[in-house]
Amino acid sequence: MKRTALIVGLLMLAIIWGGPLFAAGENSFTAHMLVHMGVVAVAAPLVALGLSGTEWDFSRRSRLFSPVPASLLELVVVWVWHAPALRAVAETSPVAAAAEQASFLAAGLILWLSCVGHSGYDRNERSAAGAFGLLFTSVHMTLLGALLALTPRPLYGTGDVTCLGLTLSAGQDQALGGVIMLMVGAAVYLVGGLALLARLLAAQDARGRTDRRLAR
């Protein structure tokens, strides 16, 4: 299971970064957002599941890699790279584009491993902290996605772009990118947070039943 998740996650990264979608992201914000969500919301959680419990699971080494600081790191990385000035630099500079993608992957792996890895927390404490971290990330992804989708003027470029065979104005391209962040990024982190919350509640319920049996 873990090996399969790791292999699929690495294959996803190879397809995302080595395929035509990455090149299209230099001109289309929608393509950029598909790449971004593919890295942080699809590949990163799969790779994190594959690395959890192994020697590469850095959440085992220090509580510095805990969900709440990791979610704040993800917030800073995502919002900073979507500032119009830095987005323009990443579109024109291969070095900046590589730094952007590396930081997306690093922030995503740190967050997901802090939530699903074998950290120094006990299982229930990790589930609670992980649920909060992922739900908080879902909230800030929702806010940024909504901002991008609803802003009345384009923040990135002014001319028409072509993405996946569609010709879009700059405003349409940006709005569609924001919707993709809402539908993919915010949704994946929400589902992950709710799954950890459900695991925590199930563990507490099982502990309660055990305590009641012992008290009889």
Question: 114-123 pLDDT, tens per residue?
Answer: 888 765 556 6
CA 20/CA 164 separation, integer angstroms: 10
Q: How much is the CA Rg of the chain, to the nearest whole Å?
A: 19
Are the CB atoms for 90 and 97 separated by under 8 Å?
Answer: yes
- Give per-residue pLDDT as tens, 88-112: 898 889 999 999 999 999 999 999 9
Domain ranges across the chain: 2-56+89-157+167-206
Phi, psi (rounded to 5 degrees) for 185: -60, -60
Strands (E), the chain: 161-163, 166-168
Greater model confidence, 140 or 205: 140
Q: What is the per-residue DSSP string for 119-148?
A: -SS-HHHHHHHHHHHHHHHHHHHHHHHHHH
Of 9-13, 19-23, 62-66, 196-200, highest mean pLDDT: 9-13
| pTM exceeding the 0.95 threshold for the entire prediction | no
Averaged pLDDT, 186-209:
80
pLDDT above 60: residue 211: no
* Mean of per-residue pLDDT scores for the chain: 85
- Residues 47-89 pLDDT 10s: 998 888 777 777 766 666 788 889 999 999 999 999 999 998 9
> What local confidence, expressed as pLDDT, does residue 213 receive?
63
The residue-averaged pLDDT of 20-34 equals 85
Work out the average pLDDT over 166-178: 88
Q: What pLDDT shows up at residue 122?
A: 65
Nearest-angstrom CA–CA distance, 62 and 113: 12
